[in-house]
Structure 1
Amino acid sequence: MHGAPRLPAEFAHMPYANPAAPKGGRVIWGLSGTFDSLNPLIVRGLAVQQMRGYVIESLMARGNDEAFTLYGLLAKTVETDDARTYVTFRLDPRARFSDGKPVTAEDVLFSWALLRDKGRPNHRQYYAKVAKAEAPDPLTVRFDLAGANDRELPLILGLMPILPRHAVDPATFEETTMTGPVGSGPYRVTAVRPGASVTLTRNPDYWGRDVPANRGLWNFDEVRLDFYREANGQFEAFKRGLYDFRVEHEPLRWHDGYDFPAARSGELIRDTIRPGVPQPSEFLVFNTRRPVFSDIRVRRALTLLFDFEWINKNYFFGLYGRKAGFFAGSELSAYERAPDDRERELLVPYAARMAPEIVDGSYRLPVTDGSGRDRTTLRTALALLSEAGYDLDGTVLRQRTTRTPLSFEILVTTRDQERIALAYQRDLKRAGVEATIRAVDPVQFDQRRLGYEFDMLQNRWDQSLSPGNEQSFYWGTEAADIPGTRNYMGAKDPAIDALIAAILEARERPAFVSAVRALDRVLMSGFYAIPLFNVPEQWIARWNRIERPSATALTGYLPETWWRKADQPQADPRN
């Protein structure tokens, strides 16, 4: 995206992969929730996301040790100009779909048009920027990007999933399906138990095994994805060895939940990985489409009432941190950082309506005494609520003119979310705010989240070191009214849109970093979500029958680089 690729043109393999990794065996994933579709490229249904990468490939592959660099996969070469007004991909003549048919330029054009017209909202948004697409010959595709003013677009197109024209019916593409897609990737879908599991089997004729970006990857003969609807049952299944690894998100469990024989004996391995990307951040999101959250003073007051210090001590064993903004722990974060001259220039049209302390970098999240009864933050929050027209009537906070209580619902789907919501409910009650908690199953939670049918819910945004077009999908004005985007808060702010455009137009890394920080400041000023905590580490537990490379990618753990220890038995643990 900026600068030059780290690896030379003739690189042998990715630095985080082991090219000598043995092939064979099975790996079993344990995933939470369920699924009703194998098509992850449409809005409808709960899809199995692993279809991307394992079954459906893109023109290019990410270099996971770099902010945003792509290397050849289906595309053998790529060409663009300095202004990035076009991009031309030349396909690898060896590339084949799993049914043996060659991948051609017509398949690329077909995929682009299909996803532009019928794909997920982010695909429609990205691919509609292409002015013209053509195939000069059967292995070459040229996209004209004139007028897009989007320097990221050639890379976005490089990550476009490529579908076989001969095996996809556009008329039924938007319908959910349990039929495994035909792709060019290393695996094929060989078994489906609806809602319960999907089995992927390595294609012995996979065309791309010797592509440098693939060496040392895709090492298992079989990948089985098992789904669990209930978190405790999922963990108990892991303890019994019914699946091979889990990514732990619960500090209490990581702290003292792994005290069982296999963990004590070394049969189970626990890895703590600190990635180099922005720390994943959890938030309680205000749905500003709801009148109760339309006033920023209300949102700011409710942010003050969240007692992180009490929760971190009692629930998280002090393992989490907390920062404002959406790029915590990286050079892209504006929190606790004064703006540079480039940022100030970008913010000139909008600074007057932003919180001054956020513009100048002096803003800090409230810090309580950790007692669960901090009076200082309570008084400050009540003063803000009074400015917004709310007064205490006994123990109930009411709107001054209508006498309507300040109340809302917090939507949760896991025990961990419910614990945080209950603690927050207690803090809100001290201010006279009535919060009810509604627990729903994962399917209903996802449906309501995607349709914006909630007052408040918990959500996590994972950011890269090269944010770009997806930021419009997260909080752009247009995305606020399109079901299925990640603009859950309903943000509609010209400043956000303008700064996302500045990010996409930046030619050099310093200007890019300044634009991202300016966006971070505007998002913080909107108080669209309450920062809950940041996750500085990845916690991975795996049975010792699964091995991984000694080198770790900048992005953290990558199961596609793992392999099975050769001397381990292959019996199916369900039998």
Structure 2
Amino acid sequence: MRLDFFRNSQLALGAISLILSSGLASAEVQHGIAMYGDPVLPPDFVSLPYAFPDAPKGGVIAAGEVGSFDSLNPYNDKGSVPWQLRFLTSESLMGRNYDEPFSLYGLLAESIEVGPNREWAEFTLRDAARFSDGSSVTIEDVMWSYETLGTQGHGRYRGLWGKIEKMEQTGPNKLKFTFTEDNRELALIVGMRPILKKAQWDGKDFSKSGIDVIPITTAPYVIGDYEAGRYVSLERDPDYWGKDLPLRRGTSNFDEIRMEFFGDGTGMFEAFKAGILNSNRETNIEKWDTQYGFPAVSAGEVVQSNIPHARPSGITGFAMNTRREMFADWRVRDALMHAFNFEYINEIVTGSKQSRITSYFSNSSLAMQDGPATGRVQALLEPFKDDLLPGTLDGYALPVSDGSERNRKNLRKAIALMEEAGYAIENGVMQNADGTPFAFELLLRKGNSEAEVIADTYVQALDRLGIKVTVQVMDSAAYQERTNAYDFDMTYYRRGLSLSPGNEQYNYWGTAGVETPSTRNWAGVNSPAVDAMIDAVLTSTSRDDFVAATRALDRLLTTGRYVIPFYQNTQSHLAHAKELKYPERIPTYGDWIVWQSELWWWADDLSPN
């Protein structure tokens, strides 16, 4: 089949450029809002451009997850929750179009109005908006949701609340937010919070709820059957209030979305081969090429689909916790990066078929450029030049080995860097001047077999440097508890990034996350320059400034040597039952978040996707 991926790449780049180079949004009632300029879809759009409006309803999609869960409430910090729930069981005032870098269109709200400089945003709630129990969504529910999430909710929701100066009802169905700072993205972020039913939580402790209370929300799916730690079944609500909205036409097509949980990836793959699961996302291209010849594939009952995307690589690798004294010195982090023999590991794990992540925004126009910083990027970084690490201004690239197991050249460099940081090898042990051995724990989540394989090879390399590493594998709940508290030395870290980075960057690498628990700043990035570049990203009013600020941020993060990068996937690999179909047109973001769950459908005929 032919994949119409943005129709062609020049059109894609042209669309993004047009979006980002337009002027500020005007203060008028709008059906949607874009981070820059105007949203692409007109007020009378019928459906998302990558949806199939006439997709049939029915069928079941069953996919696996490695790990476990002990909570069904994705809105607080308690326990481990299936990650899909916060996307599939809740709705917000506005929803995204993943064919644009960052644009929102009316969902629970029918319109939005913003101030001339986006210093405020006002929403008009739809009269028809309903919760899954049939009751109306009210302004009171919306205001309660924002305050509760902002004060008692998960850490991901709390940052926004501190940037809202005032929240007020301005009409029977109107709600206005006034912001505390010049931050043009806040008008969009404020439209993306889940809306919960206030009455359900009367007399209950929202912050501590896990499986005892299943949240009533407004989404097309409700939580049906489940067994803690083993499976969750989401059932399509036949009375879903918003099924005819443009954002929802051709979406939420399955009668059931089933998530099965397994102790490790091997068990999950065997369940897929046995037909217990009918969809499997493969992240290892070597396995994709060599282990999908089982009978169901040969018989045509299972199809392999390659889904392209144009989003940044994000970062996947081993993060070093710079809150720990041992990792506070950049030379130590650099030494550990040199000891990581990517080329050899990549051959073992993927057959060298996947390229390395070279920076946080690699695989996109937002990535740092080769060589010295120039132009606007240099100007943004220059005020911080006295505190920048080597390579930030003059150019940086990750260490490259000769591909052999010994990695002698890079290990020699690692030893030299450790010596500069005050360490030396004595009697086969790397130690400081006081004779204290350099040793640390590498924390992994149970079931991440690929990370365990990589860790095993890496630990052997570090052993040759006299560095003792203890690999600690923990179940999902214990792992989440420790990472929320930053109670680790080094751990596996994965963070996807979009074509429109914004306020979430504070949560990923902002200095507030050094002390505040439950942020995504696991590495403990503590850099005024990073904060300033995030500010520059958020206050940019032109494409050139936005790109320059993001490239400068990318330089700071990459040269900070916070995460030892693995390989990236420039396309997704989905093996699935032949009856599982998807639209021919692939969104810019590709297989992103819940594209499969929301846009695919079940069809018994053999018609093409």
SS at match of 1:158: coil
SS of 1:349's partner is helix
- Structure 1 length as normaliser, TM-score? 0.95
Aligned partner of 1:562: which letter?
Answer: W
Whether 1:412 aligns to 2:450 is no
1:374 paired with 2:374, answer no
The sequence identity of aligned pairs, in percent, is 40
Distance 1:390 1:510 in 2: 44
Distance in 1 (CA, whole Å) between partners of 2:371 and 2:270 is: 44
How far does residue 347 in structure 1 lie from its aligned partner after superposition?
Answer: 1.0
Displacement, 1:337? 5.5
Counterpart of 1:164 in structure 2 is: 197
Separation in 2 of the partners of 1:486 and 1:222?
Answer: 31
Give how far 1:439 is off. 2.2
Q: 1:110 to 1:72 in 2, by over 3 A?
A: same
Matches within 5 A, 1:103-114: 103-114=137-148
2:396 to 353, 360, 363: 363
Higher alpha-carbon deviation: 30-39 or 55-64: 30-39
Aligned match of 1:573: none
**Shift of residue 435 of structure 1?**
1.7
Computed over aligned residues only, the root mean square deviation of the Cα atoms, in angstroms, reads 1.6
Distance 1:564 1:525 in 2: 46
Q: Deviations over 1:305-329 (max 9, x none)?
A: 1111111122211222123321111
Q: Deviation digits for residues 117-141 of structure 1, max 9, x if unmatched?
A: 1111221111221110111223111
Per the alignment, residue 392 of structure 1 pairs with: 425
Partner residue in 1 for 2:521: 487
* Partner Cα separation in structure 1 for residue 411 and residue 240 of structure 2: 61
Alpha-carbon shift at residue 566 of structure 1 (Å): 3.5
Paired letter, 2:429? V
Q: Residue 314 of structure 1 corresponds to which residue in structure 2?
A: 348
Instruction: State the shift of 1:88 in Å.
Output: 0.5
2:169 alignment partner, one of 127, 135, 154: 135
2:555 aligned residue (499, 518, 521):
521
How far did 1:288 drift? 1.1
Structure 1 stretch displaced more, 221-230 or 71-80: 221-230
SS state at 1:131 partner:
strand
**TM-score normalized by structure 2?**
0.90
Aligned-pair CA distance for 1:166: 2.0
- For structure 2, which runs of at least 5 residues remain unmatched after alignment? 1-34
Q: 1:284 to 1:182 in 2, by over 3 A?
A: same
**Superposed displacement of residue 353, structure 1:** 2.2
Confirm or deny: 8 A CA contact 2:80 2:476 kept in the other structure.
no
1:170 shift after superposition? 7.0
Aligned 1:431-510 pairs, distance under 5 A: 431-510=465-544
> Match for 2:269: what amino acid?
F
Cα–Cα, structure 1 residues 186 and 92, in superposed 2: closer, same or farther, change >3 Å? same
> How far 1:21 moved relative to its partner?
0.6
Q: 1:105 to 1:292 in 2, by over 3 A?
A: same
Q: Compute the displacement of 1:338 (Å).
A: 4.5
Structure 1 residue matching 2:207: 3-state secondary structure: coil
State the one-letter code of the partner of 1:319. K
- Please name the residue that 2:183 is paired with: 150
* Helix, strand or coil at the partner of 2:483: helix
Give the one of 284, 295, 299 matched to 1:250: 284
Query: Where in structure 1 are there 5+ consecutive unaligned residues?
Result: 569-575
Matched residue type, 2:200: A
Whole-Å separation in 2 of the counterparts to 1:110 and 1:501: 29
Looking at structure 2, the residues matched to 234 and 509 of structure 1 have their Cα atoms a distance apart, in angstroms, of: 43
Q: How big is each residue's C-alpha offset from its partner over 1:137-169, in whole Å with a ceiling of 9 and x where there is no partner?
A: 231111111x31111101101111111122223
Kept after mapping to 2: 8 A contact 1:333/1:517: yes
Provide the residue aligned with 2:208 in structure 1: 175
TM-aligned CA deviation for residue 442 of structure 1: 2.9
Q: Which residue matches 2:601?
A: 563
| Native 8 Å contact 1:106 1:138 kept in 2 | no
SS of alignment partner, residue 358 of structure 1: coil
1:12 matches 2:41: no
**Cα contact 1:36–1:176 (8 A) shared by 2:** no
Label 1:340 to 1:210 Cα distance change in 2 as closer, same or farther (>3 A).
farther
Mean CA deviation greater in 464-473 or 528-537: 528-537
CA distance in 1, matches of 2:542, 2:50: 27
TM-superposed CA distance for 1:17, in Å, is 0.6
- Work out whether residues 105 and 137 of structure 1, in 8 Å CA contact, stay in contact via their aligned partners in 2: no
In structure 2, the residue corresponding to 1:174 is in which secondary structure? helix
- Structure 1's 38 and 475: CA in aligned 2 closer, same or farther, altered over 3 A? same
Listed one character per residue, the Cα deviations across residues 61-118 of structure 1 (whole Å, up to 9, x for unaligned) are 1111111001111111011123101001111111111111111222111111111111
Distance 2:324 2:373 in 1: 33
Q: After the TM superposition, which of the residue ranges 69-78 and 162-171 deviates more from structure 2?
A: 162-171
Q: Is the contact made by 1:280 and 1:536 (CA closer than 8 Å) also made in structure 2?
A: no
Query: CA separation of 1:169/1:497 partners in 2, compared to 1, >3 Å: closer, same or farther?
Result: farther
Letter in 2 for 1:486: R
- CA positional deviation for 1:491: 1.4
CA distance in 1, matches of 2:324, 2:125: 49
Of 55-64 and 221-230, the range deviating more from structure 2 = 221-230
Report deviation, 1:418. Answer: 1.1
1:280–1:535 CA contact under 8 A, matched in 2: no
* Structure-1 separation of matches of 2:285 and 2:469: 25
In structure 1, C-alpha distance between the alignment counterparts of 2:85 and 2:261, rounded to whole Å: 15
Candidates 105, 124, 127, aligned match of 1:90: 124
Tell whether 2:328 aligns with 1:328: no
Q: Which residue of 1 aligns with 2:28?
A: none
Residue 586 (structure 2) pairs with residue 552 (structure 1): yes
Cα drift, residue 341 of structure 1: 2.2
Cα deviation 1:345-374 (Å, max 9, x = unaligned):
2112212222343313x3111111101112
CA contact (8 A) 1:281 1:328 kept: no
Check 1:357–1:230 CA distance in 2 against 1; reply closer, same or farther (3 A cut): closer
What secondary structure is seen at the aligned counterpart in 2 of 1:214?
A: coil
2:332 match: 298
Does residue 30 (structure 1) correspond to residue 30 (structure 2)? The answer is no
**3-state SS of paired residue (2:233):** strand
8 A contact 1:114–1:170 mirrored in 2: no
Amino acid at match of 2:511: T
Q: Distance in 1 between matches of 2:574 and 2:201?
A: 37
SS in 1 for 2:79: coil
Amino acid in structure 2 at the alignment position of 1:452: Y
| Pairs aligned (count) | 565
Q: Hey, what does 1:74 align to over in structure 2?
A: 108
Cα distance in 2 for residues equivalent to 1:461 and 1:535: 13
| Residue number among 76, 80, 85 corresponding to 1:46 in the alignment | 80
* Contact 1:229 1:442 (C-alpha < 8 Å) held by counterparts: no
- Partner amino acid, structure 2, of 1:156: I
**CA 1:7–1:539 in 2, change beyond 3 Å: closer, same or farther?**
same
Aligned 8 A contact 1:412 1:418 in 2: yes
Amino acid at match of 1:490: G
3-state DSSP class of the match of 1:540?
A: strand
Residue 571 of structure 1: aligned partner: none
1:4 to partner: Cα distance: 1.9
Deviations 1:364-402 (A, max 9, x none): 111111011122212222111111111121322221x20
Distance 1:384 1:170 in 2: 58
Q: Give yes or no for the alignment of 1:283 onto 2:321.
A: no
